Structure 1
């Protein structure tokens, strides 16, 4: 058995600087098969920073306070999730969630299987510097702790 207080979990934010507070609770608990991240998002902040998918993991988001606007799929359908609501994304389904309101958001990102993402199974939709349009990119973390993207169409790579 493991027990932690959320306030005691170390904050580990995205290298993209897209949220003020992310606490990887699953790391603190030592889970192996379940990911659990607590977030606090100020207006215009995001859970992830961009449209992406995990081919190896389904994700569920629970909004405790505030509301989150999710963009879903490559066509970016908009779905509003309000306090007390949850939304599920199956493996391979593109999504991103933003606080587009005027008040802070508190919520959870939950995923399974796996306590952490398999970086070989993550794709992000970003502007390709060679193709000149948004395309899916393989996504990893490089040695400097920054996101590295490689276009699935042309193979061009860059880091942020």
Structure 2
């Protein structure tokens, strides 16, 4: 048995106020579990994306998350779950006024290829994105760059909102 206190796991650099990766601390080998807290305007992910081999379930504990999907927006409220199949595009947001708390569960643990679509102003299009962690003068960051032209389309610091420097 492995036991973890969520608050004891380090917060990761994500477009969410809080994102704690629970997979490794729990010693999981076949499933990924992440804990999120989203302030208004925050997102679960860096981009509209899909997973080639992983299906994903979001369990909203409090607040209301709105997921962008190919069929339009889907709201998921407290004590509700939503499942996204392999290669199904989605991105979840907190468009409300209260904090969203949620668990994301993915299986199998491997992601496979993961297209990540973000809007590029220079290309005036939604393009796939490369994400890289860097250290700059403001600390550790994740930078998104358009794969077509190389332009930066977002930069996040621990607890920052979508692509905005705190």
TM-score range relative to shorter protein: 0.7 to 0.9
What's the offset of the Cα at 1:122? Answer: 1.2
CA deviations 1:79-124 (Å, max 9, x no partner) are: 010001100111111101111111111111110101x644xx1111
Where does structure 1 lack aligned partners over 5 or more consecutive residues?
Answer: none
Q: Distance in 2 between matches of 1:90 and 1:80?
A: 17
Return closer, same or farther for 1:19/1:138 CA change in 2, 3 Å cut-off.
closer
Mapping 1:48-59, distance limit 5 Å: 48-59=45-56
What's the offset of the Cα at 1:8? Answer: 1.3
What's the offset of the Cα at 1:149? Answer: 4.1
Q: Distance in 2 between matches of 1:96 and 1:77?
A: 11
Is the Cα–Cα contact under 8 Å of residues 129 and 156 in structure 1 kept in the other structure? no
Mapping 1:22-41, distance limit 5 Å: 22-41=19-38
Is the Cα–Cα contact under 8 Å of residues 66 and 83 in structure 1 kept in the other structure? yes
Q: Distance in 1 between matches of 2:18 and 2:134?
A: 23
Q: Distance in 2 between matches of 1:130 and 1:44?
A: 24
Larger helix proportion of the pair = 1
Where does structure 2 lack aligned partners over 5 or more consecutive residues?
Answer: 136-140, 156-166
RMSD of equivalent CA atoms: 2.1
What TM-score do you get using the length of structure 2 for normalisation? 0.78
CA deviations 1:67-87 (Å, max 9, x no partner) are: 1111102xx601010001100
Task: Name the SS for the 1:100 alignment partner.
Answer: coil
Query: Where does residue 138 of structure 2 map in the other structure?
Result: none
Structure 1 residue ranges, 4+ long, deviating more than 2 angstroms after superposition:
127-132, 138-151, 155-160
- Number of residue-to-residue matches in the alignment: 148
